[in-house]
Chains A and B, each alone.
Chain A
């Protein structure tokens, strides 16, 4: 069996199973955790706590006006490469066909040349993100293997995909095989690393916002 057949066949199946098991495991494990009982008198009603929690999802997804000068650039960088990733994953026709083979639905894609430009821009932003992480002392101290490997595997998927599309660095089927193989690795890593933030980010913001609201804090 050649690399492409292996990557898009049995290895993809294994990766999807590990992904499903891992994501559901972590979400269920997270959802069933007991929140430590707060014996203090609530400063807000239950309804307000929940409402403020949902509000926090929006307010925490945008730079605070007071700190926009310090955090704006980083957040703009973060948003830009996430948007690039979404465009690459969801608007490139071969990816849409892959998703159709999984979920049975499809939608119009962008021209390949436009996707190539987005890929190069996203790649540049990825390098900028890494540069920021290693040059900013606080971020460097906060970073561990999880951060760097999550960055690396996502970057690898983009690089191999770009190489396959541009037919650079090898035969198309080998490059496509490496692209899908790196995606398989990403799927396996996803539930157990920081990529899981894709599922956790909004619930955790809502819960934090709600708990803070209960204490009378504005989030």
Chain B
């Protein structure tokens, strides 16, 4: 929020909060490590940040559940998260800020005017375009109009969560609100997608820190996600991977295999096709991640994860329907119809062949020389 400290450098802010330079370098080294950068990058990042002005950040929430923001605010190390909030100047976030109504809108407009072309725009949630954008409005403006307006002066757009990045659950079939991801609406700004439902808090802060430090968009994959966090599948980094290689699979959530911590592939784990850092950074201070807690990965950081069949059917199984549809009854009916059609075609083919055979034989008889 606008707090009168917008012109302070990060170093000055840290001194005000009693954080030593040594402590800050430690933090930067940890952040560099989380981003798989060389250890020497820690002091470099600290040196660049310490004299930098805190970048203005505008956080817009659209069609979402606030889980992404919950994730960000419930990070495991409050000191680090406090640091992140002190490194950036969070000038607008309608969920976190004290102001409300017109005062909040005015704060956002002021921050956007004052930092035109320089602020980081964070978007949380998909953007509904159905019914003229009426499904999500704030202050009399539709989400799609607010996004277009805010995107004009943004240095970059960071899409937090699968809804903003890929449309997420609102985008899932039948998509009643005409929801779209940010990248389908804004095409002329650098976009960084931090997908996940919700995303890992350290991935959000790490990406922001990297952008603030270098002023550049990090290396992104084809889905515009930072490669440093989304470069490997969960399966590749999963501690249960050796069991997959050994062919040891849990068959149900309470069998011996599950108790022994065997691979959850048969129970529908989407780890092999899901790119995220859950298996390495984990959640809640590195305590655990879904697979470690005994449930397969849902693939929530991948586009269209809600429409990719049941969460509990194995990846190699045929995808008969959407999540929750496990019975291929329609397909069995279709196969039955195929058999009937095949049998009919076979009968017709055989009939034609028999007719041809009969004609040939008949012709052969009539061609025989008549004895006399």
Contacts and interface: CB of A to CB of B under 8 A. Distances in A.
Nearest to A112: B245
A29 B335 contact: no
Contacts of A71: none
Nearest to B247: A111
B287 interface: no
Interface stretch (B75-83, B90-98, B113-121, B307-315): B307-315
Contact of A94 (B236, B315, B331, B334): B315
B14 interface: no
A32 B347 contact: yes
B149 to A, nearest CB: 32
B249 interface: yes
Interface string B298-338: 00000110011100011111111000000010010011001
A1 B304 contact: yes
B312 to A, nearest CB: 11
A95 to B, nearest CB: 7
Interface stretch (B50-58, B137-145, B350-358): B350-358
A17 B273 contact: no
Contacts of B353: 29, 33-34
A133 interface: no
18 contacts: A12-B318, A17-B335, A20-B338, A20-B339, A21-B339, A23-B342, A24-B346, A28-B345, A28-B347, A29-B350, A93-B266, A97-B265, A98-B318, A101-B313, A101-B314, A101-B320, A167-B236, A172-B235
Contacts of B349: 25, 28-29
A138 interface: no
Contacts of A114: 247
- A29, A109, A110, A167, most chain B CB atoms within 10 A: A29
A109 B273 contact: no
B342 A102 contact: no
Contacts of B185: none
Interface range for A:
35 or more
Contact of B357 (A5, A34, A95, A167): A34
Contacts of B335: 16-17, 20
B239 interface: no
B272 A27 contact: no
A25 B247 contact: no
Contacts of B354: 32-34
A26 interface: yes
Contacts of B341: 21, 24
A100 B317 contact: yes
B343 interface: yes
A110 B313 CA distance: 20
Contacts of B338: 16-17, 20-21, 24
A101 B317 CA distance: 6
Contacts of B266: 93, 97
B368 interface: no
B246 interface: yes
A38 interface: no
B339 A97 contact: no
Nearest to B236: A167
Interface in A83-122: 93-95, 97-98, 100-102, 109-114
Given A2-B303, A101-B313, A172-B235, A28 B342 contact: yes
B211 interface: no
A173 interface: yes
Contacts of A173: 272-273
A13 B334 contact: yes
A93 B342 contact: no
B342 A176 contact: no
A211 B342 CA distance: 28
B244 interface: yes
Nearest to A18: B338
B273 A172 contact: yes
Contacts of A23: 342
Contacts of A28: 342-343, 345-347, 349-350
A58 interface: no
Nearest to A1: B304
A55 interface: no
B233 interface: yes
A110 B351 CA distance: 47
Given A24-B345, A95-B316, A101-B313, 19 more contacts: A2-B303, A5-B307, A5-B308, A8-B318, A17-B338, A21-B341, A24-B339, A25-B349, A28-B349, A29-B346, A29-B353, A33-B354, A93-B265, A101-B328, A172-B235, A172-B272, A173-B272, A176-B315, A176-B316
A9 B320 CA distance: 6
A2 B222 CA distance: 13
